[in-house]
Amino acid sequence: MKYKVEHNCSTTAARAGLITTDHGEIPTPIFMPVGTVGSVKAVEMSVLERDINAKIILGNTYHLYLRPGLDILRKAGGLHKFGTWSRPILTDSGGFQVFSLAERRKITEEGVYFSSHIDGSKHLFSPERVMDIERVIGADIIMAFDECCPGDADYNYAKKSLDLTERWLDRCVKRIGETEPLYGYHQSLFPIVQGCVYPDLRKRAAEKIAEIGADGNAIGGLAVGEPTEKMYEMIELTNEILPKDKPRYLMGVGTPVNILEGIARGVDMFDCIMPSRDGRNAKLFTWQGTINMRNAKWANDFGCIDPMGTSFVDQRYSKAYLHHLFKAGEILALEIASIHNLAFYLDLVTTARKHIIDGDFGTWYPEVVKDLGRRI
């Protein structure tokens, strides 16, 4: 994998770059739709490619390991072929799922023992096992196995968690060095900076990861309960240390405002379930603010869904029609709203990239965030 910084903002840490993988190029900053079980919910692959124009999507190691399982994925030739997606894929390591399965897991030095949420069967995720699983899934970018501690964890817990994450990282790096990709193309391992909201822990984690010299680096353990300003503080601190010639990925974040604030602080890659999940719950993101399509005020609005929208659904359907579909419980409502939101998120980062290249991002984005957080 290669990464090149093409433009830097003169007043913020924002930059526009280009990631090159064996499955194609990724202009940054970029948003990556989340395809947890090998599909982005309610959106067909060709729509992702042609209309939304997603450059890279995510798969979830925990969920894909449990279903369809490694045998099926290996026989298919990896997730690209199984899901008919020809562009890059990133897989997380299952660390966040471990975090969210508090009642079903036990964390040890060896790894994490957990019970499947599907059938209760017992499993172990060790750093070595997770690297092997991500080899089978076959993503272009694979994440190291970490422990994601809560945003409100006390210092002692956060330190012990980081200690464990760093020991696991050493094992991940070793395992990747001992194994080869299974499908004939390169896989890049991204370490993950943890440390909760404690500056000294984040600094320590970032310094260790910078020394590894990986193809790219991730910032994890944010947007998990900590105050938003603390999140921004941790991003700034971390990005001052992480290498400037490698892409930086902020995991699981977030709202359109969060994304622009992250870009301004030097983040290149984002993912979040929010556009798909909120879309299925009738919330649309637009440049003017957010819209609740269940509100009665839209029942007689025959204007298009979003006059500034870039997807075909924005011009084809009216707010009144989409409101009707949600009220009627039609599946089409979930599809239209998901497509709109994902297209908006891609338009958000594409427009931010344009302003970085044009040299006015620093004055443009503070004005835009005033509207993005409004409710219409």
Q: Assign 99 a pLDDT band (cuts: 50, 70, 90).
A: low
Burial class (CB in 10 A: 0-12, 13-18, 19+), 35: buried
Extents of the domains making up the chain = 29-271, 273-376
User: pLDDT (tens digit, 9 = 90+) per residue, 155-201?
Assistant: 999 999 999 999 999 999 999 999 999 999 999 999 999 999 999 99
- Are 225 and 261 in contact by the 8 Å Cβ rule? The answer is no
- The residue that leads in pLDDT, 226 or 237, is 237
Q: Which of 51, 92, 140, 268 is catalytic?
A: 92
Is there a catalytic annotation at residue 92? yes
- Dihedral pair phi/psi, residue 165, rounded to 5°: -60, -40
Query: In this structure, what DSSP letter does residue 304 have?
Result: B
pLDDT above 90: residue 97: no
Query: In this structure, what DSSP letter does residue 55 have?
Result: S
Contacts of 67 (CB under 8 A, 6+ apart): 37, 118
Give the residue from 171, 127, 121, 123 showing the smallest Cα distance to 147.
127
- Are 253 and 14 in contact by the 8 Å Cβ rule? The answer is no
pTM of the model: 0.97
Give the residue from 96, 38, 49, 43 showing the smallest Cα distance to 72.
38
**Known binding residues for substrate:** 92-96, 146, 194, 221
Chain centroid, CA 90 distance in Å: 9
Q: Which of 140, 215, 268, 271 is catalytic?
A: 271
Q: Among all chains, which residue has been given the structure tokens 């997606």?
A: 85
| Rounded Cα distance, 127 and 108, in Å | 12
- Are 371 and 22 in contact by the 8 Å Cβ rule? The answer is no
User: DSSP string spanning 228-280?
Assistant: HHHHHHHHHHHHTTS-TTS-EEETTB--HHHHHHHHHTT--EEE-SHHHHHHH
What integer is the mean pLDDT of 144-148? 93
Residue 340 to residues 86, 272, 310: CA-CA distances in angstroms? 22, 15, 8
Q: Tell me the β-bridge partners of 189.
A: 142
pLDDT reported for residue 183: 98
What integer is the mean pLDDT of 219-236? 93
Is there a catalytic annotation at residue 154? no
Strand 89-92 to 188-190 pairing? unpaired
Q: Which of 91-95, 156-160, 253-257 has the lowest mean pLDDT?
A: 91-95
| Rounded Cα distance, 267 and 284, in Å | 24
CATH class of 29-271: alpha beta
